[in-house]
Structure 1
Amino acid sequence: MATGTGFSRSFVMVEDGFSNEGEERSQNSGQLDVGKPPRNLAVVRHSISTATLLTPTDPDLGVVGVKSASDGKSEYTPMIRSGSCAEKGPKEYMEDEHICIDSLLEHFDRTEGFPSLGAFYGVFDGHGGTDAACYVRKNILKFIVEDPQFPGCLKKSIRNAYLKADQAFAENSTVDVSSGTTALTTLVFGRMLVVANAGDCRAVLGKRGRALELSNDHKPNSIPERHRIEQLGGVIYDGYLNGQLSVSRALGDWHMKGPKGTACSLSGEPELQEIFLMEDDEFLIMGCDGLWDVMSSQCAVTIARKELMIHNDPERCSRELVREALKRGTCDNLTVIVVCFSPDPPPWIEIQSPMGHRRSISSEGLHFLKGILDGNS
């Protein structure tokens, strides 16, 4: 994602954890010089967490999947594992950040307020530098768990955390408050999954071969966002909010926002979606717009499912999605997280074949075929 300002900040890699607002940063991190070299030359990052790798039979890569979905009445317990891949792609600098926490209990080293199954993931696509993406990445989960509504009302606590992170960033004198970031997070809390999004990153659930989008892309030209922007006095020039920004929601970008408490066309408020995980929910793909600019949600699910059936490794799966996006000519940074909900690879999708000459295909198989056709287009 790019702004209309034309400058880019350097790439910095920060370890997992939280930072205070007064945390020291490198002496050059507050500058906005055009063409500034990256702080860190590493431009590719891969990670995998608690993956249980099995050795499934290598399937023929045709139509694959499962016989029938669960009725939801079983005592199903998800088993969380994840992998990620981030690469700067054709851009000069890397401005994406991401976070993968497969166990909140281990991350916080305490049990109060957390179920035995708890995880957190985030993709933050920065623009105008990395300050906003780094700050939100390091602090958003802290703001969620410290919110008075947590854990009784997860959606309210997450919404409050986004707004608090946005305001806290504006009040931090050690950062460049004109930098900005989109923010896509997923909180797994028991069998509850809550996705929050502000910007054009996207979360897609793989459900027995079918892609189910769990977030909306906040582009200025989308009908709901256009109406909201125009009602607040904003304008859209050639698809850019106020002629400057290609997204309509983001944290940071305080040169485009008014004082605290005033409504403005660029919003840091997330949209949230909550689902209850079932047995046919196989995996979640979280990616920045560098992935979705060149690939449909169904195509990504099809590729991911095929990869997981072969090697059952979410890191290799995320790496393959990045590789495919680069092959298709993406023009942006790339960050992909794949979260699996089972230790086993996805099962085969069975083609229904009733008696006689007629042939039919299950809905899962149909979605898989659509993904294959989309991937070859």
Structure 2
Amino acid sequence: MGAEVEVLRSSFSEVEIVAAELDLDLRSSDEATILCDEEEPSASEFVPFVRSGCFADVGPRRLMEDQHIIIDDLAGQLGPSFTCPSPFAFYGVFDGHGGADAAEYVKKNALRIFFEDAEFPRSTEADEEFLDHVTSSIRRAFLLADDALADDCSVCSSSGTTALTALVLGRALVVANAGDCRAVLCRDGEAVELSSDHRPTDAAERCRLEAAGGTVDDAGYLNGVLSLSRALGDWDLKPPLTAEPELRHFLLRPGHDEFLILACDGVWDVMSSAHAVGIVRRGLRRHDDPSKCARELVMEALRLRTFDNLTAIVVCFTPEHHERAAATLRYCSLSAQALSQLKTWICDNAPSR
């Protein structure tokens, strides 16, 4: 028998259940740009609150060849003369191979290459024209970094690195990738992959490699040497190997886009994008710390017996986790049986006086 009842006044008057209600509405396109067709009423005023954390581990390997960059306040690094929408943040994961030379070089020189040599545009508004200039500039930066690795005599010609970067410019997010690191956005609790894994076994990549004179063996290696189809450096394999990045940009949606994960293949070899998003969401609900979330991702990859170096970056776009902020109160009635059990539990657990 169901009935609404009055619960013991000395304990509490009502039972409140907190529930988060999320609207799932993801629009994407086959182009390099992912944009919302319709602006929400508050979207034009939305300014993301950027906070991030990272964690790296050598894993089962003898040497660490990964490098990463994490800059939440890029304007503070570049100086007041560098005009861009706020927030202005930059993140990168560089997974080296054939030694750490190439990854270390790119990390050390990234700010110069990306924001000086590549003639990064300046504007106070992240409109479509500005974002087109930004993507062109980032493409130039990848190719300039590739050329610089060839010219620097301290970097071995057989050393190379993948490169995955993410740039936050106000509401805009720009992701560039060459290699098999991966960027994954959490939108309404779902994993949205913002980059492709560039490997010779991918059908489109294989066609491009073979058209450029390369071969892909049964084990999935380019010219029997490298399990990548795009990378910086590795000049012994160019062409058909290319440093041409895949670029995507779109506008962050308030209340929908929760966080971004950037990680090397040591994570993705043993974990799906959805699994990783679930780990970070649960972590943010528990402790709301992106650094701890990045560590939890790496620890999970180690538990799953990854065989590579590990690097993970988590970038949050709100001061607190979306579910917590979107929570609303709901009420329920108790059956007579449930009420009786509740009263018994309260009496049994009441402190003695």
CA shift digits 1:17-63 (9 cap, x unpaired): xxxxxxxxxxxxxxxxxxxxxxxxxxxxxxxxxxxxxxxxxxxxxxx
Of 243, 251, 257 in structure 1, the residue corresponding to residue 224 of structure 2 is 243
1:333 aligns with 2:309: yes
Post-superposition offset of 1:127: 0.3
After superposing the two structures, state which structure 1 stretch, 68-77 or 340-349, moved more: 68-77
Name 1:133's counterpart in structure 2: 103
Aligned positions of 1:173-188 closer than 5 A: 173-188=153-168
Kindly indicate whether the alpha-carbon contact (under 8 Å) linking 1:284 and 1:340 is maintained by their aligned counterparts in 2. yes
2:23 maps to: 68
* Residue matched to 1:225: 205
Question: 1:150: how far off?
Answer: 2.2
Aligned mate of 2:248, from 273, 293, 299? 273
What does 1:1-377 correspond to in 2, within 5 Å?
66-68=21-23, 72-74=40-42, 75-146=45-116, 147-148=118-119, 150-151=121-122, 152=130, 153-237=133-217, 238-257=219-238, 264-279=239-254, 280-347=256-323
Deviations 1:160-186 (Å, cap 9, x if unpaired)? 000001001110122223210000000
Query: Structure 1 counterpart of 2:161, which letter?
Result: T
- Tell me the distance in 2 between the aligned counterparts of 1:249 and 1:164: 15
Listed as ranges, the gaps of 5+ residues in structure 2 are 1-18, 26-38, 123-129, 331-353
* Residue 138 of structure 1, CA deviation: 1.9
Deviations 1:336-356 (A, max 9, x none): 0000001112316889x9xxx
For 1:196, what is the secondary structure of its paired residue? strand
Which amino acid in the other structure matches residue 221 of structure 1? T
- Matches of 1:78 and 1:160 in 2, distance apart? 27
CA distance in 1, matches of 2:90, 2:305: 30
Aligned pairs, how many? 284
Q: CA deviation at 1:112?
A: 2.8
CA contact 1:121–1:186 (8 Å) conserved in 2: yes
- Counterparts of 2:21 and 2:288, CA distance in 1: 16
Measured after TM superposition, the shift of residue 114 of structure 1 is 2.0
Q: CA deviation at 1:208?
A: 1.7
**Does the 8 Å CA contact 1:84/1:335 hold for their aligned counterparts?**
yes
CA contact (8 A) 1:218 1:249 kept: yes
Identity within the alignment, %: 53
1: CA distance, partners of 2:231 / 2:252: 28
- Specify the SS of the correspondent of 1:275: strand
What letter is aligned with 2:146?
A: D
Q: Secondary structure at the residue paired with 1:240? A: coil
2:260, 2:314 within 8 Å by CA — same for their partners in 1? yes
- More helix by percentage: 2
Change (3 A) 1:324 1:316: same
Deviations 1:288-325 (A, max 9, x none): 00000111001110111011011100000000000001
User: Structure 1 pair 66/144, CA: closer, same or farther in 2 (3 Å)?
Assistant: farther
Q: 1:65·1:209 contact (CA, 8 Å) conserved in 2?
A: no
Please, what is the CA RMSD of the aligned residues?
2.1
| Rounded Cα–Cα distance in structure 2 between residues aligned with 1:95 and 1:342 | 32
TM-score scaled to structure 1, two decimals? 0.72
190-199 vs 68-77, greater mean Cα deviation? 68-77
CA contact (8 A) 1:140 1:162 kept: no
Structure 1, gaps ≥5 residues long: 1-63, 258-263, 354-377
> 2:22 touches 2:188 (CA, 8 Å); kept in 1?
no
**Cα distance between partner residues in 2 of 1:350 and 1:149:** 40
SS of 2:235's equivalent? coil
CA distance in 2 between counterparts of 1:66 and 1:315 reads 27
